Amino acid sequence: MFRNFKMVDRLVYGRGCLAQLEGILEERRNSESGGMVFLMDDVFHGGPLPSRIPIRDGDRLLWVNVDQEPTTVTVDSLVETVQSAGPNPSAGVIGVGGGSVMDLAKAVSVMLTNPGSAADYQGWDLVENSSIYHVGVPTLSGTGAEVSRTAVLIGPVRKLGINSDYSVFDQIVLDPDLTATVTDEQRFYTGMDCYIHCVESLNGTYLNAFSRAYGEKAMDLCREVFLAERTPESEEKLMIASLYGGMSIAYSQVGVCHALSYGLSYVLGLHHGIGNCVVFDALEEFYPESVDEFRTMCDRHGVSLPRHLTSSLSEDQFNTMTRVALSMDPLWENALGPDWKSRMTEDRVRELYEAM
């Protein structure tokens, strides 16, 4: 069976295209529904961006802080806040921010029409009811969250996405201008998430011509962005690299780095981009040439990765990291093939973590 995969319905791309959001939402507004719910990264609070967001009477703007990555508890409380406003269903959810805010917007749009807690839906295809209309407006490039069918959340037991066709955005607004304020360090870490998506897709056993086409182009763009001089086009390229990297893994899978990084960030609370970089640096055995190239990129951008992160972890913490990492069956299978369990034992995972 081949996956019949759900893609984002509509996409607008180009510098300044945020101005079109008003017209796009206009088509969705009607007298029966409630207003739009805007989830916005609080890094923009007090800056010029909020005044460019088409908020009308009856809409709600909810600021979200992403110092910690999104949790199922955050999603549940946002849903409660939205529902406490009245019985009318909201007309749509619009997420303005990096991967964290986009994932929150996806999860909230799913949970507004499905009972229980977001934690009940962490996994694959557990969502039964269609989500409400939702729009992603990325302000940071790299995760591919704008195009993926997952809303990654830290839950009570593990960090795992709500993987569902209903998570996929109905519309995305890709305006490279919105990334202008990202710090160089964050741009690098989230950009490397994209680079690593490409490496893991292109080296995986699930690879096919579809994933290869997107992955190779995204990889080329990452190289143009991170191995050449920075130009005004760099942010445009990085935004498309993110999209294409996401498309590549949508029809294949990520691999060793992401499996280990999920465990690491679950226990240490590390953000996805930096967590991936720490893990990737220890994966010469699996992706030798790419790890070399990655180190060149780190050098060019003056990035020195944190070291010895696991040196003082307890036995319990190691066990939790290992459990979370080894529960990512599809990632391991993509990376190492169907007999991955014989190669990736608990001891081997522990050794890899000890090197970080």
Q: Provide the binding-site residues for ligand NAD, judged by CB under 6 A.
A: 41, 43, 66, 69-70, 97-101, 103, 139-140, 142-145, 148, 150-152, 178-179, 181-182, 186, 190, 193, 271-273
- To Zn ion, the closest distance from the beta carbon of 58 in angstroms equals 36
What's the CA gap between 263 and 6, in Å, rounded? 28
CB nearer to ligand NAD: give 99 or 215.
Answer: 99
Partner from ligand NAD, Zn ion, none binding residue 186, C-beta < 5-8 Å depending on class: ligand NAD
CB nearer to ligand NAD: give 91 or 241.
Answer: 241
CB nearer to ligand NAD: give 92 or 142.
Answer: 142
What's the CA gap between 266 and 257, in Å, rounded? 14
Partner from ligand NAD, Zn ion, none binding residue 237, C-beta < 5-8 Å depending on class: none
Sign of CA dihedral 279, 285, 287, 293: positive
What's the CA gap between 122 and 126, in Å, rounded? 8
Tokens read off for 323: 């459990």
CB nearer to ligand NAD: give 35 or 175.
Answer: 175
What lies within 8 Å, CB to CB, of 98 at 6+ separation is 41, 66, 138, 139, 140, 143, 145, 190
- To ligand NAD, the closest distance from the beta carbon of 249 in angstroms equals 8
- To ligand NAD, the closest distance from the beta carbon of 283 in angstroms equals 17
Q: 240: closest CA among 272, 206, 214?
A: 214
- To Zn ion, the closest distance from the beta carbon of 4 in angstroms equals 23
User: Contact region for Zn ion (CB under 5 A) — 8-16, 148-156, 190-198, 242-250?
Assistant: 190-198
CB nearer to Zn ion: give 90 or 248.
Answer: 248
CB nearer to Zn ion: give 119 or 277.
Answer: 277
The distance of Cα 296 from the centroid of its chain, to the nearest Å, equals 24
Partner from ligand NAD, Zn ion, none binding residue 271, C-beta < 5-8 Å depending on class: ligand NAD
C-alpha dihedral (83, 106, 8, 202), degrees to nearest 10: -170
- To Zn ion, the closest distance from the beta carbon of 119 in angstroms equals 21
Partner from ligand NAD, Zn ion, none binding residue 170, C-beta < 5-8 Å depending on class: none
What's the CA gap between 213 and 209, in Å, rounded? 6
Helix%, strand%, coil% for the chain, nearest 5: 50, 10, 40
CB nearer to ligand NAD: give 35 or 206.
Answer: 206
- To Zn ion, the closest distance from the beta carbon of 129 in angstroms equals 28
Q: 152: closest CA among 44, 271, 3, 330?
A: 271
What's the CA gap between 313 and 354, in Å, rounded? 9
- To Zn ion, the closest distance from the beta carbon of 254 in angstroms equals 6
What's the CA gap between 149 and 106, in Å, rounded? 9
Which residue carries 């007999």 as its tokens? 339
Q: Which residue's Cβ has the minimum distance to Zn ion?
A: 193
What's the CA gap between 297 and 191, in Å, rounded? 11
Is 193 a binding residue for Zn ion by CB under 5 A? The answer is: yes
Partner from ligand NAD, Zn ion, none binding residue 78, C-beta < 5-8 Å depending on class: none
User: Contact region for Zn ion (CB under 5 A) — 52-60, 150-158, 193-201, 286-294?
Assistant: 193-201
CB nearer to ligand NAD: give 91 or 274.
Answer: 274
Residues binding Zn ion (CB under 5 A): 193
